[in-house]
Amino acid sequence: MSDAVIEPVAEPVAEPVIDARGLRFAYPDGREALKGLDLRVQKGERVAVLGPNGAGKTTLALHLNGIHKPDSGAVRIGGLAVAEPHLAEVRRRVGLVFQDPNDQLFMPSVGEDVAFGPANLGLRGEELEERVAEALAAVQATDLKSRPPHHLSSGEKRRAAVAAVLAMRPDALVLDEPTSGLDPAGRRELTDTLRALDMTMLAITHDLTLAARLCERSVIVDAGRVVADGPTADLLADAETLTRHRLEPPAPVGPHP
Residue 12 confidence class, pLDDT cut points 50, 70, 90 = low
User: Which residues does 101 contact at the CB level (< 8 Å), separation at least 6?
Assistant: 149, 154, 157, 158, 160, 161
Q: Is residue 144 assigned to a domain?
A: no
DSSP per residue, 165-212: HHTT--SEEEEESTTTT--HHHHHHHHHHHHT--SEEEEE-S-HHHHH
pLDDT, tens digit, for every residue of 157-200?
999 999 999 999 999 999 999 999 999 999 999 999 999 999 99
CATH number of the domain where residue 226 is located = 3.40.50.300
Question: What pLDDT does residue 112 have?
Answer: 98
What spatial distance separates the first Cα and last Cα of the chain, rounded to whole Å?
56
Mean pLDDT of the chain: 92
Q: Is residue 3 assigned to a domain?
A: no
Question: What pLDDT does residue 248 have?
Answer: 85
Question: What pLDDT does residue 14 have?
Answer: 80
What burial letters (b/e) apply to 4-35, b meaning 16+ CB within 10 Å?
eeeeeeeeeeeebbbbbeebebeeeeeeebbe
Q: Is residue 138 assigned to a domain?
A: no
Q: Is residue 90 assigned to a domain?
A: yes
Q: Report the 10 Å Cβ neighbour count for 61.
A: 23
Question: What pLDDT does residue 69 have?
Answer: 96
Q: Is residue 152 assigned to a domain?
A: no
Q: Residue 179: give the domain boundaries.
A: 18-102+170-244
Task: Please state, in angstroms and rounded to a whole number, the distance separating the CA atoms of residues 176 and 228.
Answer: 19
pLDDT, tens digit, for every residue of 203-257?
999 899 999 999 999 999 999 999 999 999 999 999 999 999 999 877 665 545 5
Q: Mean of the pLDDT values across residues 50-76?
A: 96
Task: Please state, in angstroms and rounded to a whole number, the distance separating the CA atoms of residues 195 and 203.
Answer: 12
Give the number of domains in the chain: 1
Q: Is residue 157 assigned to a domain?
A: no
Q: Mean of the pLDDT values across residues 3-25?
A: 76
Q: Is residue 69 assigned to a domain?
A: yes
pLDDT, tens digit, for every residue of 142-162?
999 999 999 999 999 999 999
Q: Is residue 145 assigned to a domain?
A: no
pLDDT, tens digit, for every residue of 73-120?
999 999 999 999 999 999 999 999 999 999 999 999 999 999 999 999
Residue 5 confidence class, pLDDT cut points 50, 70, 90 = low
